[in-house]
Amino acid sequence: MWKWLIPLSVVPVIALLAYGFRVNPRDIPSPLVGRPAAPFALRTFDGAPVMLESLRGRVVVLNFWASWCSPACYDEAPTLERSWRSYRGRGVALVGIAIQDKHEASQKFISDFSLSFPNAPDPDGKVSVDYGVYGVPETFFIDRTGRIRLKHAGPISDELFRTEVEKLLGEPALDPSVDSQEKGG
Amino acid sequence: MSHRWVVRILVVAVVAGGGLGAQSATADAAQDRPPAAGTVNADAVREVAAQLRCVVCQNLSVADSPSEMANQMRGIIRDRLAAGEPPEQVVQYFVDKYGEWILLAPRGRGLNLMVWAAPVVAVLAGLIAVGVLLRRWTRPRPAPRAGGIDPVLRERIRRELESEP
């Protein structure tokens, strides 16, 4: 029995290493998925106010980006603009939040990609910490009841945007008055 | 004259002592109260920041990282402490947003207990293994019994001994 003890004691160590090497340490699950999205009130680069509260009842896509985030943010910027143009008429709100970035550099990024959806800086980082952001780009899909349904780290694809937004659009809003307003409007 | 000076010195000492005592009592009372807005000291911020992982760094705490993100996180810690939140609540705020991953030292409960217990278990297992081996190596070996020798070999040795001149 004793002669097997040392070889057997190696098995759990190898199993632990095998598990550890297969897991991506950068893939950190967000505890916020399924929970209400943190409210925020920011001012866009154009000076317009943007508040999550005012988007209640709509599917909201929140994208955290930075002009220094290359190439990932540069890769996804055209996708976001394209998706916004496709879905803006269907009750979807897309808000970009520039984090840890210089004002002028962010504005140049917006201009270079002709981004027409609202983009706002997060000067003190409070919104990014409220959403548990640890890198850019990160995108949050918020359903019509105000819950975070998906957090995607890395550049977003047309397909992922479409799939997730279509799924959330197919779900009823909690507040029936919002539905009737949208149908009426 | 000298008597007067002694009295004066004693009075000054008593007044100064009373003042220090009052200051000490004030400091004790201040420790029990949450800090007023804008009066958070750097040590209090550092104490919380040292418990948190800098989210954009490799193995650096929020207290030690020079990154912009860590700087913003220190600002949030300062604001929350200034608003009267106890340090544990500030740490919990970050845990709520990032999960326990944000803590540099995992909490000693649930599966995390393995992280704390594994080194102790490993050291104990090592000590036991060393003890068992030392006992085995230092155990006196029993002398070979006479009856244990092969009779054929014994007979051969006897014959060889007898045949020697």
Q: What is the pLDDT of residues B6-26, one digit of tens each?
A: 445 544 444 444 444 444 433
Lowest mean pLDDT among A44-58, A68-82, A170-184: A170-184
Mean pLDDT of B99-109: 89
CB B76 to CB A135 under 8 A? no
- A28 and B98 in contact by Cβ < 8 A? yes
Q: Report the residue of chain B nearest A102, measured CA to CA.
A: B68
pLDDT band with cut points at 50, 70 and 90 for residue B38: low
Taking an 8 Å cut-off on Cβ atoms, the answer to whether A129 and B75 are in contact is no
Residue A63 three-state SS:
strand
SS3 state at B141 = coil
pTM beyond 0.90, yes or no: no
**CB crowding A97-127: b at 16 or more within 10 Å, else e:** bbbbbeeeebbebbeeeebebbbbbbeebbb
Considering chain A, what percentage of its residues have pLDDT values greater than 90?
75
Indicate yes or no: CB of B73 within 8 angstroms of CB of A129: yes
CB contacts < 8 A, A to B, total 44
Q: Is A15 on the interface with B (CB under 8 A)?
A: no
pLDDT of the residue at B18 = 43
The confidence band for A1, taking pLDDT boundaries of 50, 70 and 90, is low
* pLDDT tops 60 at residue B105: yes
Whether chain B has a CB inside 8 Å of the CB on A135: the answer is yes
Q: Give yes or no for residue B130 having a pLDDT over 90.
A: yes
Task: Report the residue from A29, A124, A131 with minimal CB separation from B99.
Answer: A29
Q: Report the complex ipTM.
A: 0.83
Judge whether B95 and B103 are in contact, CB under 8 Å. Answer: yes
- pLDDT average, residue stretch A104-125: 97
Interchain proximity A132–B98, CB inside 8 Å: yes
The DSSP output letter for B103 is B
Q: How far is A106 from chain B (nearest CA, A)?
A: 16
Q: What is the pLDDT of residue B59?
A: 86
A132 touches chain B (CB under 8 A): yes
